[in-house]
Each structure stands twice: as C-alpha cells, then as structure tokens.
Amino acid sequence: MGPFVWALIIQMGLLLGAVFVVVVIPKIKRDPEFIAKKTIYLPQRELEHSVALSEFQEVASKPALMERLTTESLLNSAMPSLPSLPTQEFNPFNNPVNPLYDAAALLGEAGLMGSLQGLVSETSRVSFFGIEDQATRIVIAFDISQSVVTKAKKSGVSIRQLQQEAVKLIQSLNANTLFGIIQFSRSYDLFEDYLVAGTKANKQAGVTWLENEFRTDGRSARNWIRSPVNGVQSVLEAAFAWQPDVIFIISDGDFQRSKPAGGSENVPWKELSRDIHRFQEQSEKDVRIHFVGFQVKPQHKSELQGLIRRYKGQYREL
C-alpha cells in the first residue's frame, strides 16, 4: 500500500501545481498595453532618399528651354516692279465674234441642251397624256376600279396604254427627280413607301412594278392599305405626305367610299375640296393637281374642272 499512497500523493501534487500555473499565475501578471509615441522617427537613410526624390521631381518639372531656330533667306524677297503695259478694254458680251454661240445652237438642234440643263438641276420636264409640266417631285395615282377600266376601254385606251404612258414619264426623268406611283380603288397600293430618285435602277424597278403589280381586273388586293376614310381622300393624303410638286390623277371622277355600316356612297365634293385645301395648307408648297379622265359624268366634270383649276392644274378627258 505504501507505493500506491505515494503515487496518489505525487498525482495530487502535480494536479495542484498545474492549477496554480494555469489559473493563479495569469491573474497575477498584468495585461499587455499597446502604446505608441506621438513622434515617429524615420531612419536617416529613408529621410535622405525622400528629400533627394522631391528635389529631383522639382527640377524635372521645370520646362526645358530651347532656343528658336531662325533661318535667313538666301535670295532677296523684294521683286522688281512690273513694267507699264498699254491698257485695252475687253468685254466678251459685246464681242461680235462669239464662238460659243454656234456650239449652243448645235446642241439645241441636237436636242442635247435640255439634257445638259437637267444634269445640273433636279427639275424634269414631263408629258403625260398631253399634259406637260416640270417638277422635282412627281406622284402618279391610278384609279384601277372596274368603272375606270370599262370606261377606258370604251374610250379606246387600254390598260396597257396607261402602263406605257407611265413608263414613258418615268423614263424621261433625270437622276435627281423623285417619283412615286399609287394604284387605288377604295384601298391603295404603293410602289414604294417614299419617293425614289430617278436613277436607272429605280426606273427599271418602277417599270417592273407596273408590269407585274399593276391591277387590270378592277379589284384591289387584300394586302392593300385601307384607311378609315377610304377612297380618293386617303390616297391624296398619302400623296401629299410625300411633299410633291405635281400629282397626276387618272380616274373617271366617280369617287366612292365604303360606309361604316356597310355599302358604299359617293364622296361629297365639298368634303373632298375641304380635305384638299387642308392638305395644301399643311404642305410646304402649293401642289399642282392634273387630272386625266375617262367619260366623266357631266355633274362631276364641272366640279373636277373647278377643283383642278383652283390649284393650277390641267384637265384632260380622253
């Protein structure tokens, strides 16, 4: 039992010593304090480096002065005065011998003078069913309703002739003139959504459109544009939106539109005249309206002639 008792005594001593070291000794020692002095001294070597760096930057920031280079002319710039010459008046307009007169006459006889003038301006001189005019922005509006097709045939004018007249007008435009084509019944269809220049490619595209898309059966397609106020008023509104100089209308003068409740009715002339006057006021310049008619009824003829004459247009009936 002796060794066992001594072992217990030794273990108890070790345990008490550990408790004394872990618990009692830390409480006796003071907690560390972190204190920094107000003045910080840099090492002498770093201080000397910073001073040298600031002095270098101060010297380097000063602009370097360079002397301007100067040259001296090898030759004397003073030119001698011109000798006195005899004066003689020359006026080319009073010169009896004008070599350009014969050249202009030759170009006029060859029919080239008008073409040369068209190259420097946007204006084109056009002729459509005998109506002559000159403009920079031209719109052609065809009424392709069944009544127009029938009356045109009775007048001896086929749909093919209408296409040919439009083709001649398009082909006569210079490259700077803008043109547009509309075919309409109560709805309408456009060659393009805007006026195109009279370039070779656009002219060919217009001719192709007339040959392929121009309706000859008197019916409009389902994909045509139909405005709430359909008929000739919506067509003129679309034409005036292009700000043209001239509008050619081909129709029989019997303008009709659809009623909201169904059926159709004639467009009142007072309402049409009022709308055209409104379009003219909204336009940047006065638009001349020309009309080519087929067997126009007497009650419509007087109204049309007065309306066309008011806007400096021409009326022609075939």
List the chain domain ranges: 134-317
Domain 134-317 in this protein, CATH class: alpha beta
Question: Which residue do the tokens 């070790």 mark?
Answer: 14
- Answer whether 177's CB lies under 8 Å from 136's CB: yes
Looking at residue 80, what is its pLDDT? 67
Sign, CA dihedral 294-268-138-140, equals: negative
Looking at residue 113, what is its pLDDT? 45
Which of 254, 241, 306, 313 is CA-nearest to residue 280?
Answer: 241
What does the alpha-carbon distance between residue 239 and residue 179 come to, in Å, rounded to a whole number? 11
Looking at residue 99, what is its pLDDT? 47
Q: What is the mean pLDDT of the segment spanning 197-216?
A: 91
Answer whether residue 2 shows pLDDT above 80: yes
Highest mean pLDDT (candidates 11-25, 69-83, 92-106, 265-279): 265-279
What does the alpha-carbon distance between residue 257 and residue 278 come to, in Å, rounded to a whole number? 19
Answer whether residue 236 shows pLDDT above 90: yes
Looking at residue 226, what is its pLDDT? 83
Average pLDDT across the chain, whole number: 79
Token pair recorded at residue 306? 């007065």
pTM over 0.95: no
Q: What is the mean pLDDT of the segment spanning 264-277?
A: 89
pLDDT band at 45 (very low <50, low <70, confident <90, very high): low
Looking at residue 159, what is its pLDDT? 77
Highest mean pLDDT (candidates 12-26, 214-228, 295-309): 295-309
Other CB atoms within 10 A of residue 26 CB:
9
Q: What is the mean pLDDT of the segment spanning 76-80?
A: 62
Sign, CA dihedral 196-284-241-257, equals: negative
Looking at residue 207, what is its pLDDT? 92
Strand, coil or helix: 217: coil
Question: What are the distances in angstroms from CA 173 to CA 69, 79, 123, 293, 297?
Answer: 63, 57, 8, 24, 33
What does the alpha-carbon distance between residue 151 and residue 99 come to, in Å, rounded to a whole number? 56
Helix 200-212 × helix 159-171 angle, to 10°:
170
- Answer whether 137's CB lies under 8 Å from 161's CB: no
The pLDDT tens digits of the residues spanning 115-172 come to 444 444 578 899 999 999 999 999 999 998 888 888 888 888 887 888 889 999 999 9
